[in-house]
Structure 1
Amino acid sequence: MRPLLASFPLLALLGGCSYLPTWDSLPSVTGDKVLGLVTPYRVEVVQGNVLTKEMVARVKPGMPKAQVRDLLGSPLLTDVFHEARWDYVFTIRRQGAPAQQRLVVARFDGERLQSLEVPDDLPTENDFVASVNTFKPGSKKPKLELSEAERAALPPPKKSDEAAPTAAAEGPAPGRTYPPLDAKLGAGS
């Protein structure tokens, strides 16, 4: 009787193996869904400089490198062997929106901008916001600027008199004394 009872778990274990699914019968990851039900979170990847038509329109040939950097930002790529070329690369991959990639190339002659190569599909600021907007249709668009009435309703900035007193106004720290500066200067002359 004991050998029969001892073999029962072994037989149950071997019999259970016939019910294990095979790799072909397992549900797979198709498209954006796992098991056909769950949408996994995908990390938003943004790299480079967002450049719009408005930003590029401010840059003119003949500008110095420092001014171009002030207007467009630091280039993503600068090559030691091609110092006369700056590459402004922008890529974004965001769940629910198509991937975007753009390249703007600034070419310099010495320290001055010679030309700016801009792609035809460079968006305006509003077009860029609309292209990365993953809100559902009919939802509220993000607001980019305040109206004149909203600006007028803002509280005035605090005056510098209301700011915290500085260390110079409070005097030296307790227990410290310093000789007058004019005595030191007079002794050396």
Structure 2
Amino acid sequence: MPANHRYSARTAFLLLACTVLASCGGMGGSSINPVNWVTPYKIDVIQGNFVSKEQVEQLKAGMTRDQVKATLGTPLMASLFHADRWDYVFTLKRQGVEPQSYKYTVFFKNDQLERFEGDAMPSETEFIAKLGKRRKLGDVPVLEATEAQLKAAEKPKSATASAAVPASVPAGAPPASYPPLESAKQ
């Protein structure tokens, strides 16, 4: 093939590739665009303490700060300017799902729980169900071996292996004598 044809074929291929790539850029978010086929991985961002409906139901007026902390956990925000107010904020940001945010506030008077208010908190089972909807990993395999699998995995004891170790010495026992640590002086 002459050199002129080789360069013209290379130029035509380069021109075709540029045309295809330029047309992909003008499709405006179409799924046909190869750029949309690959998306970057975004990690799940979890911030704060999740407060469940069950925990909120345990709150009673008159509880001490330690009792509230034992029930709800350490507050995310405790301000110096509002010493009698604890804010519990929980946010969850995941790829492909709307961000979730829950807020709950407890108010103290004379170190006793006076009142509490906030968003309607989901129960623990409801919250876990929301987390599980996004990812489908398939069926969980059976994690128990059958009798046939156990027998197949069992190694038959050979006569030569049992003859090498005397029956009086238990398996894993240390030898009766050890080699010298230092070589004999000559």
TM-score band, normalised by shorter chain = 0.5 to 0.7
Taking the aligned partners of 2:15 and 2:137, their CA distance within structure 1 comes to 50
Counterpart in the other structure of 1:115: 115
CA distance change for structure 1 residues 106 and 139 in 2, over 3 Å: closer, same or farther?
A: farther
* Superposed displacement of residue 129, structure 1: 0.2
- Report the counterpart of residue 46 of structure 2 in structure 1: 46
Cα distance in 1 between the residues matched to 2:18 and 2:139: 47
CA distance change for structure 1 residues 34 and 63 in 2, over 3 Å: closer, same or farther?
A: farther
Pairwise CA distance, 1:98: 2.9
Work out whether residues 61 and 113 of structure 2, in 8 Å CA contact, stay in contact via their aligned partners in 1: yes
Inter-partner Cα distance in structure 1 for 2:105 and 2:30: 38
Contact 2:48 2:76 in 1 (8 A): yes
Quote the Cα distance in structure 2 between the aligned partners of 1:137 and 1:86. 39
Q: Show the counterpart of 1:152.
A: none
CA RMSD of aligned residues (A): 3.7
Residues 34 and 112 from structure 1, CA distance in 2 versus in 1: closer, same or farther, beyond 3 angstroms? Answer: farther
Shift of 1:132: 1.2
Structure 1 length as normaliser, TM-score?
0.56
How does 1:37-186 map onto structure 2 within 5 Å? 37-120=37-120, 122-133=121-132, 134-136=134-136
1:100-142 residue CA offsets vs partner (Å, 9 max, x unmatched): 101000111020111110313x1011100011112339967xx
Q: Report the equivalent of 1:167.
A: none
Cα distance in 1 for partners of 2:15, 2:110 equals: 74
Q: Classify 1:76/1:30 alpha carbon distance in 2 versus 1 (closer, same or farther; 3 Å).
A: farther
TM-score, normalising length: structure 2:
0.57
Which amino acid letter does the alignment assign opposite residue 89 of structure 1?
A: V
Query: Any stretches of 5+ residues in structure 1 without a counterpart?
Result: 1-8, 141-189
Looking at structure 2, the residues matched to 34 and 106 of structure 1 have their Cα atoms a distance apart, in angstroms, of 51
SS at the partner of 1:102?
A: strand
Aligned length: 133
Deviation string 1:150-182 (CA, Å, 9 cap, x unpaired) is xxxxxxxxxxxxxxxxxxxxxxxxxxxxxxxxx
